[in-house]
Structure 1
Amino acid sequence: MQHRAAASIRKSFLRYFEQHGHTLVPSSSLVPSSDPTLLFTNAGMVQFKQVFLGHETRDYTRATSSQRCVRAGGKHNDLDQVGFTARHHTSFDMLGNFSFGDYFKEEAIFHALNVLTKEFDLPIDRLHVTVLDNDVEAIEWLVYTQWRKIAQLPDDKIHRLGPDDNFWAMGDTGPCGPCSEIFFDQGEAFSNYDDRYLELWNLVFMQHNRLGDGSLLPLPTPCVDTGMGLERMASVMQGVISNYHSDVFTPHLHAVAAALDVQNGHVSSRFQDAVADELRLNRFGTDVDIQIVRVLADHLRTAYALMEDGVFPSNVGRGYVLRRILRRAMRFAQQAGVSQPFLSRIPMFGEGERKGVVQLQAVVDNEERAFYAMLAQGTKAVDKLLHHPHTKSYLTGHDAFFLYETYGLSIDMTESIAASFQATVDTAGFDAVRQRHQEAIAATSSPLGL
């Protein structure tokens, strides 16, 4: 297995499918067009949703793409795990191939096997696959037999799992179907990280359309939707312990660490040493310093990508999620001793010139200035709620919503400030109060609510 840079992996993947009759389709915006059910583009198939449903046709029946994705809100939300695990990110690149009524399960498996074992030279004896096994379909026999026929995998490397693991849907409604996931055995050295068997590729066989009541209708024609995380494949091809150790992230880690080491006018090598040790030893550490660097690298990468696609910080919808991402980065920066606007000075543009770099940095700077002003006011307000007229050890949902409405404190910020007073927050109560508030606004703004 040869060392491959992420850019080379992407190029080889797309070239293979182009050579096999697939049209190369550019990555779509992170803001889904004409799809109110999604906050962000969270998978490669999003731009093809109407094709899967039979509502739209293209001048091709096979496609391949490298799609930028964000998973920081809605059904797929990895925000709170970022920085603490080797694989979770708020954004990533998904490599995929798609068939719209052209080929189906057998050819999808054939192509996946060819790419992994011939293009990327992965040893076939280190591959494991999963197939759907549930009460309705008993076993996805076609998939099961094809993996034995084409890949000649023994039974102990074909794992039967239920629909929680092997039935994929992009959301609560829309195209869905059984899937077959491909895992790579990274070896005994990875056992201590609960990451020995790493999922590389998901082959989804789109057969159904899930309606709002949960019922499944057959799609007009069966389709194929596959997704491979570029960052994961890069970590495998580069023989490293995590996505953060791959060349996708290492430039960002170095940039963040260098900036942290000169923040507040104090020059040191604390964070650069933490990154250097992490990469040199090929370990996934749990030290606070390296977690801070990971969070800042991931969150700023995502924030700039969202702003490039027209999403800017606000208190509603996509803008609210972006604001939460930036403020989570700010809270982690605080743990590093940062007490003033700082994030906009971290260079995150190594992948090429971004559009309007200076303007985007100004947005981040303004968010930070507002954050520190809000933090000072919010801390005083939390102190008052917890200690006046009498002392208590928690904030109610109504308290948290008051802080959100009055000071702009997100629930994450409220929890963080409350924790500094050894207090907790009723987050479920906050969600309920906020939901009732939104429903009341919707009712009063609708003719039916007058």
Structure 2
Amino acid sequence: MTSQDVRKQFLDFFASKGHLIVPSAPIVLKDDPTLMFNNSGMAQFKEYFLGNATPKSNRIADTQKCLRVSGKHNDLEDVGFDTYHHTMFEMLGNWSFGDYFKKEAINWAWELLTEVYKIPKENLYVSVFEGNPEENVPFDQEAWDIWKGLIDEDRIILGNKKDNFWEMGDQGPCGPCSEIHVDLRSEEEKALVSGKSLVNNDHPQVVEIWNNVFMEFNRKADGSLEKLPAQHVDTGMGFERLCMALQGKTSNYDTDVFTPLIEKVEQITGLKYTSNEVLNISEEQNKTNIAIRVVVDHVRAVAFAIADGQLPSNTGAGYVIRRILRRAIRYGFTFLNIKEPFINQLVAVLANQMGEFFPEIKSQQQLVTNVIREEEASFLRTLDQGLQLLENVVTETKTATVSGTKAFELYDTFGFPIDLTALILREKGFELDEAGFNTAMQAQKARSRAASEVSTEDWSVLIPGNVETFVGYDQSESDVKITRIRKIDSKKDGILYQIVLNNTPFYPEGGGQVGDKGTLVSANETIEIIDTKKENNLILHFAKKLPENVNASFTAKVNQDLRNLSSRNHSATHLMHQALRSILGTHVEQKGSLVNPTYLRFDFSHFAKMTETELQQVEDFVNARIQEQLPLIERRNIPFAQAVQEGAMALFGEKYGDEVRAIKFGESMELCGGIHVKNTAEIWHFKIVSEGAVAAGIRRVEAITSDAVKAHFASYENTLNEVKIALKNPQDILKAVHSMQEENTKLAKQIEALVKDKVKNLKAGLTAEIQEINGIQFLAKQVDLNPEGAKDLAYELGNLGNNLFLVLATADEEKPMLTCYISKELVADKNLNAGQVVRELGKFIQGGGGGQPFFATAGGKNIAGIQNALEKAVEFVK
């Protein structure tokens, strides 16, 4: 049975049980501040479990792309070393929202596994929650009784809270769960050791494949549990593990989920992967196997994250993706001996393999390939740099143990993997101070935790059962009541309050647009709303204090000035998107955006830097639409399929409902939930202020509109007036500037000639000052030259012999500079290095630098330290 068959039979089975089959949500979460990535099948349904929205069906099934590489659910360090953990995996799941419960969920799970997939019953074990008296949660007698009617009692295991009680987080819906485990060992192994004793003991062939969670409780902030008003079912089955069981394998990597990728790696590297079924694998082959498993696992996670809109970066979710990819590159570099980008070649295999069910990987294939290739090339350069820096650390180390703090600097500053550092050190006969490294790492984590630590109280519900209504498309003021409040305390922002209203004109941050600000006004007081966000389908209004009377009637007033500025930038973003597709080509797709009152930022797919002509064409295109005074045509609650069929642009990585809102200005039509102008004339004018690269194949444009353009032109006019005054008010400013440039060029040539003469004169005088120390011709001297002249002088003196060690100091324009020249023969014979010399001497002038072993420079800030630096230089030859 192929993996495609396995997936299809699961979905067909639950469709036959009355479940609505829904597509996977993006792997990257945009509307849930509590999660960085979709790490479980239920994440996209949280709002239903919390009662903040009504599901389109009480029975739903799907296969969800999941990523577990950070936070509580983190499998990254296990990946590659075992055969059943993954960064990205598929979670097959079925859900009941207040409909069926334990009886149906357990019986259907058993029916699917044993009758449809035909897994032998004697290979299965199940677990039931044993209860927890401390939290007043009883033994799950109901689940036990249901299982007793399906399976022998000696195959039912009692599980503790860790294994058999599922929680969404520190707070929220939770409940007991019943796991199903499969024993894939040989008959001989089963005869020796009972599978029951191996359940939940990390045996690679006795693994959990399905977890049935029965949500009965709500965990409150104080840790106590309360019964939920409705009972829900949330199940998750590991697709890769299920394929292993159904394809008769003992490793996920031996299934057709991974074998096409493994075969491509074998083709690229010339190395062979050994199946998990082969015994007595050599240590070298085991390292190769681990490396190949890491590469084929990680490329899936990185590729799908990029396809869903998350580019590698140095912060947040982007840093996690970059870290995963760098881990794969490092394994390829060290254990597969690949020193060139190669992981990007696997994307085509992945797109061919999974593109039918996950079309985003097919449509974004070229972008994903380009981004991964560029990231590989960049990190391989970093690896080279890191190796050189590590070499310097080793050279400076006087003992057999290298400082853990130094190793952490390499890791933290340059992304140099610690395991690679330890490996290289062992090869050189050094040990790594791992305790020191771990101390530095824990200190950094503690700082990070302290900066982001947030404590959240339970909601205080003032009006139960209210469904919040957003009225902001039609009005900026509304009469409201507060329905619930809660207090949050973060290290970053201090104490804030989240307020939910029965209806609100405030737009919550989303789709790139920042949240509205404004006020809540009652008869007696005014509360400032400093931000608006959305979480689990609730619109949260942030305030630094609560009203004295939270039960009063209020008027919610949006700050209209800020909203108007944001809406102009947002509408201009749509027009610019249309312009880019018209001028550059329809390959252009939005990859990210930011819309606030000050400016707009737009990331898009494109393979080259935009020319000045193209930028001007985009500006002209948008401004032409502004001049046309196009009215906003807004259509709400239209079917998604209909909107797309009519030409609306849908963005990859966005989660759309069955009904959507379409925004149209002339020929520009996009699906969008943001706030827009009523007519393009309100934008006034559009001006691009910058264009640059974000990643391989991704460009970024920043632009301004409206008041910001007026301020921009006013600033230019002021600057022009200042230039006129500086040039003594010439009639033709441009002619005056050209004349000054020509004069400057003549003067520069004259100065260059004078410096060359000065170098020749200094050379003659300095030659006599060179002294011999330990057979080395040595000179350390301050000279009255600019840095370029010092370089010329160093090379002129260097041509006099084969054993010169020279340090020159300059203070041109009050900026100290050290120049070091070492004859190449000395570099080889005496192990001298100009780069190390200037780094050491640069400390005296409060600076630093580097260069090649035979020539290097260092700049600084402290002229007074030049003499001490020159005096110190002699120690290198003594």
TM-score, normalised by the number of residues in structure 1: 0.86
* Alignment map for 1:354-365 (pairs within 5 Å): 354-365=362-373
Equivalent pair of 2:184/2:250 in contact (CA under 8 Å) = no
Identify if the C-alpha distance between structure 1 residues 376 and 292 changes in structure 2 by more than 3 Å, giving closer, same or farther. same
User: How far off its partner does 1:200 sit?
Assistant: 1.7
2:379 maps to a residue whose letter is F
SS in 1 for 2:368: helix
CA–CA separation in structure 2 for the residues paired with 1:327 and 1:445: 30
* Alignment map for 1:229-308 (pairs within 5 Å): 229-261=238-270, 271=271, 274-275=272-273, 278=275, 287-308=286-307
1:12 maps to a residue whose letter is Q
CA–CA separation in structure 1 for the residues paired with 2:64 and 2:494: 40
User: How far off its partner does 1:195 sit?
Assistant: 3.6
Q: 2:237 — aligned with what?
A: 228
The structure in which a higher percent of residues are strand is: 2
User: How far off its partner does 1:87 sit?
Assistant: 0.5
Identify if the C-alpha distance between structure 1 residues 122 and 432 changes in structure 2 by more than 3 Å, giving closer, same or farther. same
Q: Which has the higher contact order (CA 8 A, sep 6+)?
A: 1
Match among 122, 141, 161 for residue 163 of structure 1: 161
1:73 aligns with 2:80: no
Q: 2:141 — aligned with what?
A: 141
1:279-320 superposed Cα distances (whole Å, 9 cap, x missing partner)? 7x5669562222222111111121101110111111211111
CA–CA separation in structure 2 for the residues paired with 1:441 and 1:126: 45
The structure in which a higher percent of residues are helix is: 1
1:107-159 superposed Cα distances (whole Å, 9 cap, x missing partner)? 1111111111221122223321100113324521111011113x1x2221111
SS in 1 for 2:339: coil
1:90 maps to a residue whose letter is T
Identify if the C-alpha distance between structure 1 residues 25 and 282 changes in structure 2 by more than 3 Å, giving closer, same or farther. farther
Identify if the C-alpha distance between structure 1 residues 118 and 239 changes in structure 2 by more than 3 Å, giving closer, same or farther. same
1:239-277 superposed Cα distances (whole Å, 9 cap, x missing partner)? 11111111111111111111112xxxxxxxxx2xx33x5
2:84 maps to a residue whose letter is R
Q: 1:267 — aligned with what?
A: none
CA–CA separation in structure 1 for the residues paired with 2:241 and 2:494: 50
1:48 aligns with 2:38: no
Match among 440, 459, 465 for residue 429 of structure 1: 440
Q: 1:207 — aligned with what?
A: 216
User: How far off its partner does 1:445 sit?
Assistant: 7.7
CA–CA separation in structure 2 for the residues paired with 1:360 and 1:200: 31
SS in 1 for 2:306: helix
* Alignment map for 1:45-124 (pairs within 5 Å): 45-124=42-121
* Alignment map for 1:319-338 (pairs within 5 Å): 319-334=318-333, 335-338=335-338
2:410 maps to a residue whose letter is L
Q: 1:388 — aligned with what?
A: 396
Identify if the C-alpha distance between structure 1 residues 99 and 284 changes in structure 2 by more than 3 Å, giving closer, same or farther. farther
Equivalent pair of 1:83/1:291 in contact (CA under 8 Å) = yes
CA–CA separation in structure 2 for the residues paired with 1:170 and 1:385: 45
2:35 maps to a residue whose letter is L
Equivalent pair of 2:22/2:60 in contact (CA under 8 Å) = yes
Q: 1:311 — aligned with what?
A: 310
1:403 aligns with 2:410: yes
User: How far off its partner does 1:408 sit?
Assistant: 4.1
Equivalent pair of 2:291/2:336 in contact (CA under 8 Å) = yes
Equivalent pair of 1:411/1:427 in contact (CA under 8 Å) = no
User: How far off its partner does 1:429 sit?
Assistant: 2.7
Unaligned runs of 5+ in 2: 194-201, 356-360, 454-489, 496-878
SS in 2 for 1:328: helix
1:388-447 superposed Cα distances (whole Å, 9 cap, x missing partner)? 3744625445x4554355434466665666666431442343232354268569999859
Unaligned runs of 5+ in 1: 262-270
CA–CA separation in structure 1 for the residues paired with 2:37 and 2:120: 35
Match among 18, 21, 26 for residue 23 of structure 2: 26
Identify if the C-alpha distance between structure 1 residues 433 and 395 changes in structure 2 by more than 3 Å, giving closer, same or farther. farther
Q: 2:341 — aligned with what?
A: 341
CA–CA separation in structure 2 for the residues paired with 1:240 and 1:306: 28
1:319-367 superposed Cα distances (whole Å, 9 cap, x missing partner)? 1111111111111111211122222233433223622322222211221
SS in 2 for 1:93: strand
Q: 2:374 — aligned with what?
A: 366
Which range moved further: 334-343 or 250-259?
A: 334-343
Identify if the C-alpha distance between structure 1 residues 32 and 436 changes in structure 2 by more than 3 Å, giving closer, same or farther. same
Equivalent pair of 1:75/1:171 in contact (CA under 8 Å) = no
Identify if the C-alpha distance between structure 1 residues 278 and 433 changes in structure 2 by more than 3 Å, giving closer, same or farther. closer
Identify if the C-alpha distance between structure 1 residues 419 and 209 changes in structure 2 by more than 3 Å, giving closer, same or farther. farther
User: How far off its partner does 1:206 sit?
Assistant: 1.2
Q: 2:530 — aligned with what?
A: none
Which range moved further: 81-90 or 204-213?
A: 204-213
Equivalent pair of 1:44/1:227 in contact (CA under 8 Å) = yes
Identify if the C-alpha distance between structure 1 residues 47 and 141 changes in structure 2 by more than 3 Å, giving closer, same or farther. same
Equivalent pair of 2:330/2:417 in contact (CA under 8 Å) = no
Equivalent pair of 1:324/1:410 in contact (CA under 8 Å) = no
SS in 2 for 1:236: helix
SS in 2 for 1:44: coil
SS in 2 for 1:341: coil
CA–CA separation in structure 1 for the residues paired with 2:494 and 2:143: 52
Calculate percent identity across the aligned residue pairs.
38
1:169 maps to a residue whose letter is E
Equivalent pair of 2:185/2:250 in contact (CA under 8 Å) = no
Which range moved further: 431-440 or 93-102?
A: 431-440
1:158 maps to a residue whose letter is I
SS in 2 for 1:121: coil
Identify if the C-alpha distance between structure 1 residues 118 and 284 changes in structure 2 by more than 3 Å, giving closer, same or farther. farther
CA–CA separation in structure 2 for the residues paired with 1:14 and 1:140: 28
Identify if the C-alpha distance between structure 1 residues 175 and 381 changes in structure 2 by more than 3 Å, giving closer, same or farther. farther
CA–CA separation in structure 1 for the residues paired with 2:110 and 2:452: 53
CA–CA separation in structure 1 for the residues paired with 2:43 and 2:345: 34
1:204-237 superposed Cα distances (whole Å, 9 cap, x missing partner)? 0112233455443433311100011111111111
Q: 1:266 — aligned with what?
A: none
Equivalent pair of 1:53/1:220 in contact (CA under 8 Å) = no
Match among 167, 176, 183 for residue 181 of structure 2: 183
Which range moved further: 9-18 or 365-374?
A: 365-374
Identify if the C-alpha distance between structure 1 residues 17 and 366 changes in structure 2 by more than 3 Å, giving closer, same or farther. same
Which range moved further: 287-296 or 11-20?
A: 287-296
SS in 2 for 1:84: coil
